Amino acid sequence: MALIVQKYGGTSVGSIERIKNVAARVADYHRRGHKLVVVVSAMSGVTDQLINMAKEITPLPSERELDLLLATGEQQAIALTAIALQAIGVPAIALTGAQAGIVTDGVHTKARIRNVTPKKVHELLNSGHVVIVAGFQGETPEGDVTTLGRGGSDLTAVALAAALKADLCQIYTDVDGVYTADPRIVPNAKKLDEISYDEMLELASLGAKVMQSRSVEFAKKFGVVFEVRSSFNDNPGTIVKEETKSMEAVVVRGVALDKKQAKVTIVGVPDKPGVAARIFKALADAAINVDMIVQNVSHGAPQPTTDISFTIEKADLPKAQKVITTLKQELGFAELIATENIGKLSIVGVGMKSHTGVAAKMFEALARIGVNIDMISTSEIKISVVIDAAKAEQAAREVHAAFIG
Amino acid sequence: MALIVQKYGGTSVGSIERIKNVAARVADYHRRGHKLVVVVSAMSGVTDQLINMAKEITPLPSERELDLLLATGEQQAIALTAIALQAIGVPAIALTGAQAGIVTDGVHTKARIRNVTPKKVHELLNSGHVVIVAGFQGETPEGDVTTLGRGGSDLTAVALAAALKADLCQIYTDVDGVYTADPRIVPNAKKLDEISYDEMLELASLGAKVMQSRSVEFAKKFGVVFEVRSSFNDNPGTIVKEETKSMEAVVVRGVALDKKQAKVTIVGVPDKPGVAARIFKALADAAINVDMIVQNVSHGAPQPTTDISFTIEKADLPKAQKVITTLKQELGFAELIATENIGKLSIVGVGMKSHTGVAAKMFEALARIGVNIDMISTSEIKISVVIDAAKAEQAAREVHAAFIG
């Protein structure tokens, strides 16, 4: 008998029929003697509908009241899920985030969990209940309702699993687990049996949107082992956990392709202290999130210049161009080049730490199909390259074939 | 500068446009310097929609989870109302029933208010806020969400007005106030400037459905003076308060007609102790609500018999006939007569206590238009008669003309 925390996303509870399916799955675990805490998101579409109502009143509704409004989505979903379980004879009880002891700070719409005091959840589990908890929400010590921002329900599940010292945390979603690549692009992509927190974090930040980074970070911090699996079948999913020795045998865990970025190159920047800081401070002040930054050695004398390239979200490109252009006089650079036609291709794996020649093997694969590399950036467990968007998907397949199959 | 509690029903906040109208009205009071607590119901239709979702899962959802589900309707309405006020520059803040200090017992779906601890409401009022409170809901001392049943938002408003010692409690609805009769039946009906709690209670129980009896009873118990008025115009409404000397000058405050009842007569009931108890116990066990009961003196010897008549909701008639028929052997009555074609016509007024000849004047009015009286029942401030449904509306007009004009 284990204590299991399960989390079901909005798609999994997207209709009364699907809520009944979730109830059937939970009931199955319950009958096998497990203690269950079930975290549920709002039915898909509900949150957007509520946001639209608020925006119909005013474009910038107050975040405190927006949280009160949005929290009703999960509250409805837990009530309906508990009712569905009771209807098939399972003693279920629904708790809001506040009732389940999720205490947060007061930063509305993106609150951080301060602590979890799961006394009530423990009591209810011990009296034989299946406890259904509203994801995505909490309460400040002063009693104000808060929400946790994007991916908040995953965070609720992981935080509860940590606080309850759960044996298992299952994140149910609409995919079978974490894949070595996006199967729509790389038909050979395989589902992974396991992956380390760090690899999962790199994949998440590279656009493989199975889970938000913060939930994985939280799990890593508190050592919560969790499984990502599908709510539409019974296939085993992917276990996410601290890296083990055996994981290092695999050099590349996954290949990720991000086509949502744009590239900006500032040509002929005078190479003197403070210039890079000036550029990226200006971008940060404009709330533009910069991803990769590449600066090569400078050349020329007596006043050496360099080129600085960086990538940003495509949506931010016009704003970034405006910001950089206003700096032209001050910085005295030669030219600003921007393009949207790029793809960022990355390979991720903790095995890279102990294997050599990984980068060379990747670059060779790209060369084989005539792909030119624009930018390169590496971390301890990741290599990213920026390439032409037109060849990006073919490149993903080729790199996947070279490392994984 | 007064402390005013306002309550807006589901129709008044039935769309984003109407929520904006409510906000404009509240803002107007706020700008005149009043302190405002605004109780809001769920947007019309939302509660039914939520109930239907639960019933789609199971015909008898658990009442605890149903409360959690239904409470979201009001929570959404307060958030949107607060957002609408903020959008026009009014410092509004939304509170759930629990946050506003509404503590109830644990009888889900029809909880009773145990006490109101409006500390937070006071603080927010003192810091210049307009406080928007979710009607219809509260919280048990253990932290479970409860709802107050039909008319619960009125109750929230009256209870808050009592706890806050408000100067005024305004119940906004879709009618202009309390009328001397239903204007659709009696074109001469007049809006009342004021009415006593007891008269309001009698009218409510007689089918003039402006407010549920329990809210009026609560107001009477705690001496909360309130005004019933329209949210669609600025006309003054009807003040409901303890009766005053001057009220007694008016003999009849209003005329009410209830056409939703059916009449049952049990003919030739042996007149011996325990028979009436047996009949009405059986009806109560079948959850049939009996309204008027009339039993006349018995006649016949050596075994005197009597006729017992009573009225019930039309919908309960088949069930009642079945219940009584099963008692036929045991009680030995002669015959069961039932009819749905009745109207219950009533006059109400505290002035009756000190005026004589009121009943006679009513019966004369009915006689003038050839209406036969089936049953008569009186209380200290009310006279009700059961008459033929076909002539009921004409009778209402004639009686109204005789007493009011």
CA–CA dist A128, A131 (Å, integer): 9
Q: Give the pLDDT confidence score for residue A391 in this predicted structure.
A: 95
Condensed to tens digits (0 to 9), the pLDDT of residues A44-74 reads: 999 999 999 999 999 999 999 999 999 999 9
CA–CA dist B135, B155 (Å, integer): 8
pTM, 2 dp: 0.86
State the complex-level ipTM.
Answer: 0.83
Cβ within 8 Å, pair B65-A79: yes
CA–CA dist B169, B166 (Å, integer): 7
Chain B contacts of A53, Cβ < 8 Å?
A: 16, 76, 80
Nearest residue in A to B134, CA atom: A68
CA–CA dist A136, A50 (Å, integer): 15
Q: Give the pLDDT confidence score for residue B208 in this predicted structure.
A: 63
Cβ within 8 Å, pair B87-A58: yes
Q: Give the pLDDT confidence score for residue B271 in this predicted structure.
A: 82
Q: Give the pLDDT confidence score for residue B73 in this predicted structure.
A: 98
A152 or B210, greater pLDDT? A152
Residue in A61, A69, A83 closest to B76 by CB = A69
% of chain A residues with pLDDT over 70: 99
Cβ within 8 Å, pair B75-A69: yes
Nearest residue in A to B139, CA atom: A99
Q: Give the pLDDT confidence score for residue B356 in this predicted structure.
A: 85
Cβ within 8 Å, pair B53-A80: yes
What does each C-alpha distance from B340 to A180, B314, B315, B345, B386 come to in angstroms? 74, 7, 10, 15, 11
Counting every residue, how long is chain A? 405
Q: Give the pLDDT confidence score for residue A207 in this predicted structure.
A: 61
Cβ within 8 Å, pair B69-A57: no
Structural domains in chain A, CATH included, are: 3-174 (3.40.1160.10), 244-405 (3.30.2130.10)
Cβ within 8 Å, pair B16-A56: yes
Mean pLDDT score, B378-401: 94
CA–CA dist A312, A334 (Å, integer): 21
A75 touches chain B (CB under 8 A): yes
Mean pLDDT of chain A: 93
Q: Give the pLDDT confidence score for residue B320 in this predicted structure.
A: 95
Q: Give the pLDDT confidence score for residue B168 in this predicted structure.
A: 94
Residue in A65, A79, A99 closest to B69 by CB = A79
Q: Give the pLDDT confidence score for residue B306 in this predicted structure.
A: 87
Mutate to test the interface with B, among A68, A96, A99, A120 (most CBs of B within 10 A): A68
Residue in B69, B72, B86 closest to A62 by CB = B86
Mean pLDDT score, B57-61: 95
Q: Give the pLDDT confidence score for residue B45 in this predicted structure.
A: 95
Position A83 confidence tier, pLDDT thresholds 50, 70, 90: very high
Cβ within 8 Å, pair B76-A72: yes
Q: CB-based burial of residue B184 (10 Å sphere; 0-12 exposed, 13-18 middle, 19+ buried)? A: exposed
CA–CA dist B52, B69 (Å, integer): 11
Condensed to tens digits (0 to 9), the pLDDT of residues A167-199 reads: 999 999 988 999 999 989 999 999 999 999 999
Condensed to tens digits (0 to 9), the pLDDT of residues B319-353 reads: 999 999 999 999 889 999 999 999 999 999 999 98
Nearest residue in B to A20, CA atom: B57
Condensed to tens digits (0 to 9), the pLDDT of residues B175-188 reads: 899 999 998 999 99
Chain A contacts of B120, Cβ < 8 Å?
A: 143
CA–CA dist B56, B68 (Å, integer): 17
Position B207 confidence tier, pLDDT thresholds 50, 70, 90: low
Position A208 confidence tier, pLDDT thresholds 50, 70, 90: low
Q: Give the pLDDT confidence score for residue A401 in this predicted structure.
A: 96
Chain B contacts of A109, Cβ < 8 Å?
A: none
What 3-state class would DSSP assign to A194?
strand
- What six digits make up the tokens of B6? 């306002």
The pairs formed by B322-331 with CB atoms below 8 angstroms and a separation of 24 or more are B323/B282, B323/B283, B323/B286, B323/B288, B324/B264, B324/B266, B324/B279, B324/B282, B324/B283, B326/B282, B327/B278, B327/B279, B327/B282, B330/B278, B331/B266, B331/B269, B331/B270, B331/B275, B331/B278, B331/B279
Q: Give the pLDDT confidence score for residue B342 in this predicted structure.
A: 95
* φ and ψ at residue B390, rounded to 5 degrees: -60, -30
Q: Give the pLDDT confidence score for residue B247 in this predicted structure.
A: 86
What 3-state class would DSSP assign to B155?
helix
Helix, strand, coil content of chain B in percent (nearest 5): 40, 25, 35
**Cis bond upstream, residue A302 (ω within 30):** yes
Residues 127-186 of A with CB under 8 A from B: 143-145
Q: Give the pLDDT confidence score for residue B273 in this predicted structure.
A: 81
